[in-house]
Amino acid sequence: MTRRRTRPDDSGKPGYITPEGYRRFEEEADRLWNVDRPKMAKAVQVAAAEGDRSENAEYQYSKQRLAAIDRRLRFLGQRLEVLTIVDEQPPDDGRVYFGSWVTIEDEDGETQTYRIVGPDEIDARKKWISMESPVGKALLSRELGDEITLRRPKGEASCEIIEVRNGPPT
C-alpha cells in the first residue's frame, strides 16, 4: 500500500541521494505510516477513553508522539519529492564523485575512509559525509594522489588521497 505524499518542499532546495538512501527514506515513511502511526492513534484513543484528558499524562504523551510522527511524515514526503537519485556508476578513473569512497592519509600517517553522499544521508558512524561539508567539498572532483588541505578545529591538516573506490570497501 503506498501513501500519497504531502505537498512538495517549498524551500526549492533540490538534493542528491544514493539509491540506498532513498530506499531508507521510503522504508521509514512506510513504517511510520503503516505501523507506528496506527499504533499511536490507537494509544491516543485508549488514553482518551480513560476520562479527564487534562490530567491524563498518557493521553498527552500519545498526542505529542502522534504529532511528532506526522511532522516526520510531512518532512519525508516533502524531501522525497525533490530529491534526485544518483544511480549512475561513475567512471573508475581515480576521480572523486558523488557516492565514491575516498581514503585519505594525513601527515601523521593516519588514514580515514569517507563516502561522499547527499546532506540527507550523512552518518558519522559509517563516515558518510555530505558533499556540501567542508571535507566533502575539498574531496569532490579531486584525483588519486592529490593533496588537499582540511580546516579542522585543531588547525589545518594536509592530506593525500590514497584510494578512490566507486563500490563499498571490502
Name the grid cell of 132: 556540501
- Give the type of residue at 18: T
Q: What is the pTM of this model?
A: 0.76
- Provide the pLDDT for residue 3: 44
E strand or H helix at 29: helix 19-31
CATH 3.10.50.30 boundaries in the chain:
101-165
- Provide the pLDDT for residue 13: 61
Fold of 101-165: Chitinase A; domain 3 (3.10.50)
E strand or H helix at 162: strand 155-165
Residue 136's closest CA among 165, 95, 97, 86?
A: 97
CATH 1.10.287.180 boundaries in the chain:
15-85
Instruction: Kindly indicate the confidence band of residue 153, based on its pLDDT and cuts at 50, 70 and 90.
Output: confident
The residue assigned the cell 544514493 is 18
Which one is the CATH code of 15-85: 3.90.550.10, 1.10.287.180, 3.20.20.70, 2.60.40.10? Answer: 1.10.287.180
- Give the type of residue at 154: K
Summarised one tens digit per residue, pLDDT across range 78-116 is 889 889 999 888 888 889 999 999 999 988 899 999 999
